[in-house]
C-alpha cells in the first residue's frame, strides 16, 4: 500500500464514529463473519455481532450483494479496520423471553448433551440448561428428544436460563 493509499484509507476511517448507523453492501461471507463495503471502507461483522440468535454460519444472516444496515462498534486506525454490528440494531428476543417465561412450563428439543447437563432449545432460539442432577442415572435424553421443563432461574446479564423437571420456585437476577 502506498503512502497516498494509506492516507486516503486513514481519512475515510476517521469519518466513522462508534455508534454511527450506516448502510453498506455485503461483499463477502466467510466462516468467521461478513465483510461490508461502506462507501470504500470495508467493515467486518464477526459472528458474535451478526445476530442475537445462534447461527451455524454467517450465510444464514446475509448474502453477498445484500444491502445491510449496521452500527459502527470500533475503528482501529492503526490496523485500518472498522468493526461493525448487525445485531445491535435488532431486537433482542432473550429480553422478551426473560420477562415472560420465568416459572413457565416450556417444551423444546434437546440441542446438546454435555457433562453439566442438557441444553434445550426454547422459543426464540434461547438455550436453557437442564442440569444433569435432574436425571436418574442412565436416563439422559438424546439430541432432538423433546422435553417439557420449567424455567427456574434467568440471569439477563449472563444470558443464562436454568431449567428444571420439577416445580421449584423460580427466581431471577
Cell numbers 492516507: residue: 7
For the segment(s) 93-172, the CATH number from 2.170.270.10, 2.40.37.10, 2.40.50.140, 1.10.760.10 is: 2.40.50.140
pLDDT given at position 9: 80
Mean pLDDT per 10-residue interval, the chain, length 173 residues: 81 91 98 95 96 92 98 91 95 87 92 96 90 90 95 93 74 54
pTM summary value: 0.73
Judge whether 3-89 and 93-172 match in fold: yes
Domains in the chain: boundaries: 3-89, 93-172
pLDDT score at 137? 80
* Phi, then psi, of 110 in degrees rounded to 5: -70, 125
Overall CATH class of domain 3-89:
mainly beta
Give the end-to-end CA distance of the chain in Å, rounded to a whole number: 51
Amino acid at each position: 500500500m502506498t503512502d497516498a493509499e494509506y492516507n486516503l484509507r486513514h481519512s475515510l476511517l476517521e469519518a466513522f464514529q462508534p455508534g454511527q448507523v450506516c448502510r453498506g453492501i455485503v461483499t463477502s461471507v466467510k466462516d468467521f463473519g461478513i465483510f461490508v463495503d461502506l462507501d470504500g471502507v470495508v467493515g467486518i461483522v464477526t459472528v458474535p455481532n451478526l445476530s442475537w440468535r445462534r447461527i451455524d454460519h454467517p450465510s444464514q444472516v446475509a448474502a453477498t450483494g445484500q444491502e445491510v444496515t449496521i452500527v459502527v462498534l470500533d475503528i482501529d486506525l492503526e490496523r485500518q479496520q472498522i468493526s461493525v454490528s448487525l445485531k445491535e440494531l435488532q431486537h433482542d428476543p432473550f429480553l422478551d423471553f426473560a420477562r415472560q417465561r420465568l416459572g413457565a412450563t416450556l417444551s423444546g428439543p434437546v440441542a446438546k448433551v454435555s457433562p453439566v447437563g442438557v441444553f434445550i432449545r426454547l422459543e426464540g432460539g434461547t438455550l436453557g440448561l437442564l442440569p444433569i442432577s435432574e436425571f436418574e442415572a442412565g436416563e439422559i435424553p438424546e439430541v432432538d428428544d423433546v422435553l417439557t421443563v420449567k424455567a427456574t432461574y434467568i440471569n439477563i446479564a449472563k444470558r443464562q436460563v436454568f431449567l428444571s423437571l420439577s416445580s421449584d420456585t423460580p427466581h431471577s437476577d
